[in-house]
Amino acid sequence: MSNSPGERPRIDLRKAINAVSDVVQNRPKPLRVFDQIHMKVGDMLMQSEIVADWAEGKSLAFIGDGDAISVCVAYMMRRKVLTFGPGRITVFDFDERTVNAVTKFAEREGITNLDAVLYNCLDPFPVTDKYDCFYTNPPWGASNNGESVNLFVERGIEAIGYQGDGMVVIADDDELDWPKQVLANTQSFSRERGFYVSRMQRKLHAYHLDDNPNLQSCNLYISSLPGNEANKGGSQPASADRLENFYGRAKEPLVRYVREKKRVDPGNADDSEYELELLGESE
């Protein structure tokens, strides 16, 4: 099932599916109000192998990761399902549930090349060691012409110091107008910052999306032009004019962080999801 036929050994499909299942069991439920929509499991498996191959031996920054592709990649490397992959992975996410899920899973499974940082892309990107590449599956920008995508891409570009490669997961649909406009704007935004589109894999992923179950996404790859220099002004907070319809129509960001209210056992249903009727109560 490798995305590079003849170059990589075939993976054990059963072990790979079981590994992804472990990750799905561990990740928090999506919050639709923040445009968190989970990729379907089969596509997560395919995407994880693609990302591992693309970022082999490199340091990789995830700008948000509700899908938990970062964990899939690191876990399948740890389990020897994949014999290739990034040397270091860091997740930057404003959802504390995601950050805690990543760090606790990594600790429990002995994954030493995976960590997570609580970070909101509205804020300047934190000063860190430079990464080689970045990955983001941002809010798709149907109501803001892709400005939400551009902000996540900008943070990824800052994470790699304006030199390196990025993979942007973005809506891809021939029947709708807005994905085409967003794709065009993302490409233009990247070009203005010294990046070109080096590759595109169309219509790869499906999602658990009730209002448009057929909507798919693509992988848009961008790479820095030779001699591209870092932004001399440094990372800046997102300006107010970029926040309109950020998470959908009339959905501006009002939240800095999603905080984890209590420790959730991912192996069991939360007690807020059910109630018990005891033997004899209905008799």
Tens digits of residue pLDDT in 39-82:
999 999 999 999 999 999 999 999 999 999 999 999 999 999 99
Domain boundaries, the chain: 13-248
Tell me the residue type at 63: I
CB-based contact 78:109 (threshold 8 Å): yes
- For the entire predicted model, the pTM comes to 0.91
Cα angle, residue 236 at apex, residues 156 and 32 outer, rounded to 5°: 55
Tens digits of residue pLDDT in 208-225:
888 788 999 999 999 999
Classify domain 13-248 at the CATH topology level.
Rossmann fold (3.40.50)
CB-based contact 39:207 (threshold 8 Å): yes
Task: State the DSSP H helix or E strand holding residue 14, giving kind and residue range, or none if neither.
Answer: helix 13-26
pLDDT at 87 over 50: yes
pLDDT at 5 over 50: no
Nearest C-alpha neighbor of 139 from the set 60, 235, 207: 207
Nearest C-alpha neighbor of 207 from the set 174, 180, 170: 170
- What three-state secondary structure class fits 133? strand
Q: What is the mean pLDDT of residues 83-108?
A: 97
Query: Phi/psi at 194 (nearest 5 deg)?
Result: 85, 25
Token pair, residue 72, equals 């899939």
Task: Name the burial class of residue 220, with classes exposed (0-12), middle (13-18) and buried (19+) by CB atoms within 10 angstroms of its CB.
Answer: buried
